[in-house]
Structure 1
Amino acid sequence: MTRRVYIFDTTLRDGEQSPGVSLNVMEKLQIARQLARLGVDVIEAGFPITSPGDYEAVKTIAREVRGVTVAALARANFQDIDRAWEAVKGAEQPRIHTFIATSPIHMRHKLRMTEEQVIEAAVAAVKRARSYVSDVEFSAEDASRSELDFLCRVLEAAIAAGATVVNIPDTVGYATPEEFARFIRDIRQRVPGIEKVVLSVHCHDDLGLAVANSLAAVAAGANQVEGAINGIGERAGNAALEEVVMALYTRRDQFGCETNIRTEEIYRTSRLVSSLTGMPVQPNKAVVGKNAFAHESGIHQDGVLKERTTYEIMNPVMVGISQSNLVLGKHSGRHAFRQRLLELGYELGEEELNKAFQQFKVLADKKKEITDADLEAIVEEELRPVPVTYTLEYLHISTGTTIVPTATVGLKKGDEVFEEAACGNGPVDAICRAVDKVTGVPCVLKSWGINAVTSGKDAIGEVTLKISENGGKTYLGRGISTDILEASAKAYVNAVNRLLWESGRLTDKSNEVS
C-alpha cells in the first residue's frame, strides 16, 4: 500500500536565514503563492517574534494563501507562541511550530537548563500552542546529537501534551544515512503514542547528506520531510525538497511513497526562489540545474536520441522544463504570447501582460528567435514586487582601453527625466556613480555577478548585484538585457528602488511594482 509523505517547506523561514538573503513581505507572498501551486502541505512562513517585518510577512501569507497549512515558528516560551498565534490566526489551516534543544551540548552551553527543565518547558509550550490551534508541531532541536533515552522522554511528554507532529532535526548535519535511519526506527519503537502523530525530519547539509538522511528517514518510517527549495538555508543549507520529491517519485519501487507535489511546478518554483533571493542555482544541481538534463558527450547524445531513458531517469517535462512547437519572434502577437506564457505556467493579469508583451517586443527586435528561457526572464523581471521610484529611461556609455569610462544615464521619476553623467574605474562603476548623482543616495556596490539566461551571441544576460548605504543593510537588485551594461544599470536602479522602499523613504507605497 502506498504511504503518504507530507512536504513541509521552510524556504521562507530557514531558507531566508541564508547569509545575504533578505526578502520583503511581497516577495515572500509571491514565493508562498508559488509554493501553494507546487502543492506543498505546509509553508513555514517565518519566525514572527524575530522582527516586525517577519511578523507582517507571516500574517500576510496566512491571510492571503489558501489550500495549505501555514506554520509559524516559536521558541518554547509563551511570548513567542502568543506572537506566532497572532500571525497565523488568519490562516485557513494554522500551525504553531515550537521547539527547544535537547542535546547535552545545547542544554549545557546555550539553554543552561537541566533535562527536567527542558521537558517542563516543552510541555508548557505545546499546551500553550494547543490552546490556540489544533495543529501543533514540536521540534527537538539538535535531536541527532541528543541522548536517545532523554529524547524519547521529551517526545513522549510533547505528544501527551497535545503535539500533533514531532520533528527530529539533524540541526548541524552531523548524521549519516544508516545512523539516522536507525535513530528514527528506535524512536518509532520506543515512544508511546508516536503512531498517533506525524513523525517529521529536518536535515541540514553540512556534510552534503541532507537529502540522503531525509530519504533514509522516510524508509525508516518518517512521514514528513522538511526542507527548502534549492536546498537554501543556514550554513550549507537544508535538504533540497525538489531532490527529495523526485527521488521518492523516481524510486517509488524502493520507497513505496507518494507526495502531493505537482512536479511540473518544480522548475518554475526553483527559478522564482533563485531570482528573489539572489542565490544562483549551480549548473550541475540535481533536478533543477541548467545541466541537469543536458547531454554533451556523443555517446550520451546518441543514446538519448534513440531512447531518452538510456541516460535520463527523469523526464525534464515532468519538472516543468518543456519545449513548445510555438516559435515566437518579432511578428508574433499577444495571443501567441499569452498562450506560450500559459504553457509555461504564467497566468498574468491584463496590466502585467501588457508590460511583459512590451518587453517581449523590444527583445524580439534584438533577437531572431525568443526562447522559453527568454520569456521566463521577461516575466520574472516584470513581476518583481518592488515599487518603482526610478526607471532607466536611457543609457550612454563611452569606454575603451585608452579613455576614462564615462556613463550618462537618464532616470525617470514620475513624469520627469533626470540626467547625470559620471566617470568611473570601469563602465559599471561609471553607471553606478551617475545613478547615485541622480538619486542623491550614495551607495556602495558590494557584489556584482552576471549569468547568461539563454545561449548564443544574442543571449539575455542577468545581472545580480548587492548595494549598501553607509555600510548598513544590503539590498539586492536584478536586471536583464542582451546588453550587459544595460542589465547592470537596471539592476542597480532596482536595488536603489528597493533601498528607498524598505528604508521607508517612499511616501506612496501604492506605486506600480516592477
Structure 2
Amino acid sequence: MTGFPTLNTPSGPVPDGAPAWNPQRRSGMPYEKYRPFHERVVVPALDDRRWPYKVIERAPLWVPVDLRDGNQALAEPMDTPRKRRMFDLLVAMGFKEIEVGYPSASQTDYDFVRHLATRTDIPDDVTVVVFTPARAELIERTFASIEGLPRAVVHLYTATAPIWRDVVLGRGRAEIKAMIMEAATLMARLGPSVRFQFSPEVFNLTEPDYILEICDALTALWDASPDRPMIHNLPATVEIATPNVYADQIEYMHRNLARRDSVILSVHPHNDRGTGVACAELAMLAGAQRVEGCLFGNGERTGNVDLVTLALNLHAQGVDPMIDFSDIDVIRDTVAECNRLPVHIRHPYAGDLVYTAFSGTHQDAISKGFAARTGPLWEVPYLPIDPADVGRSYEAVIRVNSQSGKGGIAHLLQTHYGLSLPRRMRAEFSAIVQQATDASGKEYGAADLHSLFTATYLVPGAASVPADTEVVAREHDDHLAYAEIRTPEGTFWGAGPTPDAAVLSAVTRSRR
C-alpha cells in the first residue's frame, strides 16, 4: 500500500468564511448534528470577571477519588487489599481528605469502609469521604458504613442538568430540588456530627440560577458555619466547553453563594475535551478551594483531572503542592498495580521518558544548562523541574539514538567516563555514532558509546609519523590525550594515554 488512505472528504470549494490560505476541504464528518456550547448552556454574564488577572499562590485541598470514581472506571475494580494499598499510598503522600468508596453500591465498597473504621493507624488529620445518591435507603446504608469513623464527610449527589432531568430522571426543577432537600434532611438527622458535601452532577450544563438556589438552600438546611463548613462540589462531569467558560461558571458561584465563609467551593473536572487540567487551574483562579481528581487521571471515559500534573505544575512555579511526590516511580508503579492500568511513558512528570532527550538540539541545550548552573534556582532548558525533585536520577536525561547529536554524546562520555572531547572531534565521532545507530536501529548507552569510541580512536600500531603528515591539534583531559592530523588522504583524530600516542593512533586510522 502506498500513499495516504482515502478519507470521506467531499471535493469542492473551501467552505464559506474559511481563511483564503486554508488548503483543507470539509472533513465529511456530520458536525452539523452538534450544537455549540453557548446554545446548550446558560453561561453567567461576567463582564467584570476577575480570574484572568489572578495567579495561583497556594495549593488547594486536593481530594483523590481513585478509590471511588477512579475505581468505578476500572474493568477489574479493586478488592480490599488493592484498595488498602492505594489508601495507604494516598495517606503517605499527605492527602488530608480521601474519597474511599460508594458503600451503598457494592458489598466490596461497604466492607472496605468498615475495614477503615476498625483501623487505629489512620492519622488524626485524615478525613474519609463516602459517596451516596439521594435515595433514603442508600443514605441509611452509607451512614451505617461509617459508624465508628472519627471523621467523615458524606457526599450527596444528584444530576441537575436539563437533559438529565428530562431523559434520565423524568422530573422537573422543583421536583429535583425537593428530592435533594428530602435527602439532605435525612442526612442531617442521621449524622449531626458528620460534615456534608453536595455535588450537582453535570453542574457545567445546569442553569446557574438553579444551582445557586439549591446550594444556598442546602447551606441553610445543614446550618453551615466557618467552624463546620459544608462542601459544594461543582463538577464538569462531561466537558462541553472551553476552560474559560468553566472558570466563569465557578466565579459566578464563588461571588454569589450565601454564607461564603461557611462553604468550601470544590471542583471535579473530567477530561472529555482533553482540557481537565486547564479547567481545574482556571477554576482555582476563579475561587475554587478544593479539587477532586485521580492520580494520573484515571476515570470514566477520558478520565478525571490528573492530580499529579496539577500538583507538580504548582511545584514548577515555586508553589508548595503540599503533597509528597519525591519518589514518583514508586507512586506510579503502585497506582498502576492497583488500577491494573499502565501510566504512559510520556505522561507529564511521571512517564519513563519525560526527562529524557534523544534530539541532538535538546541534548546540547540541556548539557549546556547543566554546565552553566551556579545558583540555587533551577533553570535548565527543556527540563521544567529538576528530575531529582521527584526521585529521578540524571542518568536517563540524555540518551542516544540515530536522532541524537554531538552535544548529547559528548555529555554522556564526559559524565560517565570523564572524557572531554575536543569540539571538532565531537562532530566526527557524532557521525560515526549516527552510522552505528542507523545500522542497528537501537539506542546507545554510555557504555556502548565508550566501546565505540575506544574501538575507533584507541588504535595503536603506527611506529612513526610520515613526513607528509601535519599535526593540527593536540589536546588532553584528565584521562586521555587527543590529536588531529592532516594527511593527503584527509583529516583524522586519534586518542591515547599521551599526546604522541594520540598522534600515532590518528596515523593508524589514516592508513586503514
In structure 2, the residue corresponding to 1:74 is in which secondary structure?
Answer: strand
C-alpha displacement at 1:278, in angstroms? 1.5
Aligned pairs for 1:55-74 (under 5 A) are 55-64=110-119, 66-67=122-123, 68-74=126-132
Which residue of structure 1 aligns with residue 98 of structure 2? 43
Distance 1:220 1:86, change over 3 A: same
Distance 2:327 2:143 in 1: 30
Gaps of 5+ in 1: 325-454, 457-514
Q: Is the 8 A contact 2:154 2:194 kept in 1?
A: no
C-alpha displacement at 1:62, in angstroms? 4.2
Q: Is the 8 A contact 1:283 1:292 kept in 2?
A: yes
Distance 2:76 2:305 in 1: 18
Superposed CA RMSD in Å reads 2.3
The answer as to 2:205 corresponding to 1:152 is no
In structure 2, the residue corresponding to 1:50 is in which secondary structure?
Answer: coil
Q: Is the 8 A contact 2:74 2:339 kept in 1?
A: no
Q: How many residues align?
A: 323
Distance 1:322 1:82, change over 3 A: farther
Distance 1:261 1:63 in 2: 26
C-alpha displacement at 1:2, in angstroms? 4.8
Which residue of structure 1 aligns with residue 369 of structure 2? 307
Q: Is the 8 A contact 1:100 1:140 kept in 2?
A: yes
Distance 1:293 1:4 in 2: 24
The letter for the 2-side match of 1:85 is F
Which residue of structure 1 aligns with residue 470 of structure 2? none
Distance 1:89 1:175, change over 3 A: farther
Distance 2:113 2:241 in 1: 31
Distance 1:317 1:220 in 2: 33
The answer as to 2:147 corresponding to 1:85 is no
C-alpha displacement at 1:129, in angstroms? 2.7
C-alpha displacement at 1:212, in angstroms? 0.8
C-alpha displacement at 1:74, in angstroms? 0.3
Match of 2:197 among 115, 137, 144: 137
Match of 1:204 among 250, 254, 270: 270
Distance 2:154 2:250 in 1: 23
Which residue of structure 1 aligns with residue 253 of structure 2? 187
> TM-score under structure 1 normalisation?
0.59
1:387-411: per-residue Cα shift (whole Å, max 9, x none)?
xxxxxxxxxxxxxxxxxxxxxxxxx
Which stretch has the larger CA shift, 87-96 or 4-13?
87-96
Q: Is the 8 A contact 2:296 2:307 kept in 1?
A: yes
Aligned pairs for 1:432-443 (under 5 A) are none
C-alpha displacement at 1:107, in angstroms? 1.2
The letter for the 1-side match of 2:250 is I
Which residue of structure 2 aligns with residue 317 of structure 1? 388
Q: Which is greater in Rg?
A: 2
1:76-102: per-residue Cα shift (whole Å, max 9, x none)?
122222222222233342111111111
The letter for the 2-side match of 1:311 is Y
The letter for the 1-side match of 2:265 is L
Distance 2:127 2:102 in 1: 15
Higher strand share: 1
Distance 1:225 1:22, change over 3 A: same
Distance 1:267 1:166, change over 3 A: farther
Distance 1:72 1:24 in 2: 17
The letter for the 1-side match of 2:353 is N
C-alpha displacement at 1:320, in angstroms? 3.2
Aligned pairs for 1:251-290 (under 5 A) are 251=317, 258-290=320-352
Which residue of structure 2 aligns with residue 9 of structure 1? 64
The letter for the 2-side match of 1:107 is R
Match of 1:217 among 276, 283, 291: 283
Match of 1:176 among 230, 242, 257: 242
1:291-324: per-residue Cα shift (whole Å, max 9, x none)?
1111111222222233252211112222233479
Distance 1:141 1:258 in 2: 31
1:202-229: per-residue Cα shift (whole Å, max 9, x none)?
0111111111101110011101000001
Q: Is the 8 A contact 1:268 1:320 kept in 2?
A: no
Q: Is the 8 A contact 1:7 1:259 kept in 2?
A: no
| Percent identity (aligned) | 28
Q: Is the 8 A contact 1:101 1:140 kept in 2?
A: yes
Distance 1:34 1:92 in 2: 20
Gaps of 5+ in 2: 1-55, 225-229, 371-379, 396-444, 447-512
Distance 2:339 2:157 in 1: 26
1:170-220: per-residue Cα shift (whole Å, max 9, x none)?
001223211011111111122212332110000111111111101110011
C-alpha displacement at 1:27, in angstroms? 0.7
Distance 1:267 1:227 in 2: 19
The letter for the 1-side match of 2:136 is F
In structure 2, the residue corresponding to 1:91 is in which secondary structure?
Answer: coil
Which residue of structure 2 aligns with residue 369 of structure 1? none
Distance 2:185 2:316 in 1: 40
The answer as to 2:350 corresponding to 1:294 is no
Aligned pairs for 1:351-500 (under 5 A) are none
